[in-house]
Structures are given as C-alpha cells and as structure tokens.
Amino acid sequence: MPGWLSPALLVLWAPLGFRATCYYYRKAYYRSFFADPVACAVGEARPQAYCGEVKFPFILQNLHRYFLYAALIFLVFLWADVVRAFVIHGSLALAGGSLAILASTTTLTLYTFSCHSLRHLVGGKLDCFSCIASGGPRYRAWSWVTFLNEHHMGWAWASLFAVCFADLYVRLCSMGVIHDPVFATFVHLFDVPDKGFTP
Ligand code: FES
C-alpha cells in the first residue's frame, strides 16, 4: 500500500456502509436530497410511481443487516482499543485521549445496539415471545434494544461527532500539534522497554 494512503481505508467500507444504509440516514437523505418523499403524508415531487428499493443502486440498502454484523465485530476491536487507551507508559491512567476514545466507542456501541435491524433480529420479527423457547431472554433483549432504538437518531449524531472528534484528537496528538494531558495515574502495570527515544 502506498505510504500516502492510510491503511484505515481497508476497513472503511464497514462503518461507511453501515451508516450509508442506516434507516435513519436513509430517511434524512431521501428527504433532504431526493425529496422522495419530502415528508410523511406529502405527495411525490415528481409524477412517478414509487418503486421502493428494488433496483440498483438502492437495492444495496438491503445489505444493512450484513453491515450490522460487521459493525458488531468491529466493536470488539474498538473496546480493546479503549482498554489500551487507558494504559499509558505501562500504567493505568486517565488522559484526554482515553476519554475521547471512550466517548467515541460508547456512543458507537449505543448507535449499533439501537439499530432497527438488530431490533428485528433479537425479537422484532416474532409475533409471540411466549410461544418460543428462550422467549423470556429474547423479550428482555428486544425491550433493551427498543429502549435504545427510540433514540437512534440521537445516537447516530452523537457517535458521528464523537468519532470525528476522537480521530482528529488522536491525529493531532500523533503529529505533535497538541499534547495529550494525563489527568491521573493509578496503578503501575508493567515496565516499558527503553528504546532510547526521547519525544
Ligand atoms: S438502522 Fe441505523 S444503524 Fe441500523
């Protein structure tokens, strides 16, 4: 891969596809950019019959549930990063970067777990919880996802801003433009080998 190209581009398809096919964002950009429809109970701007998402490229919106599976896997790596963000020079510590990464991963988790596809998957597609095995746990999972789902739009925006902020913050720190303040150091965990490098 050329040096000027970020390796992050190799994984960008998953978060980008997840957001682009998200039901909330679809509603927003269909209304704002395509005026199709402009709003609920408002007629079509163009004299044409609505044909749904059955043709290319919009048929690709049906991939949303698969992007959800990818997003759930990515969350595991993001939470591993959160743990690493709290280990600074071999000690458990709290820094500006730790908080930025914690905020972005927390809001991303809430955005992912409030997904309409996940709600359908855990119980929304069922007509009767008491008629199936493990109906109780499925009902509780569905209730939790439903609770989060009511605020899906909020999680969508909060996570978008939190991720952008965390990415910018980490980038500026890595370039030496800003210095990451360490607020508190708690426990020493391990010694970091001295590589003879003084920042
Ligand atoms: S509906 Fe928005 S992330 Fe699935």
Ligand 1 within 6 A of CB of 69:
no
Determine what percent of the chain is predicted with pLDDT higher than 90: 71
The pLDDT assigned to 195 comes to 61
Domain ranges of the chain: 7-114+151-188
Q: Is 8 exposed, middle or buried (0-12, 13-18, 19+ CB in 10 A)?
A: exposed
Nearest to 20 by CA among 85, 75, 74, 67: 67
User: How far apart (Å, rounded) are the C-alpha atoms in residues 196 and 199?
Assistant: 10
| Atom nearest to 23 CA in ligand 1 | 1
| Atom nearest to 156 CA in ligand 1 | 2
pLDDT > 50? residue 185: yes
Q: Who has greater pLDDT, 54 or 149?
A: 149
Under a CB-based contact definition with an 8 Å cutoff, are residues 17 and 63 in contact?
yes
Beta strand ranges found along 29-168 (DSSP E): 87-88, 91-95
Ligand 1 within 6 A of CB of 117:
yes
The pLDDT assigned to 42 comes to 81
pTM score, two decimals? 0.89
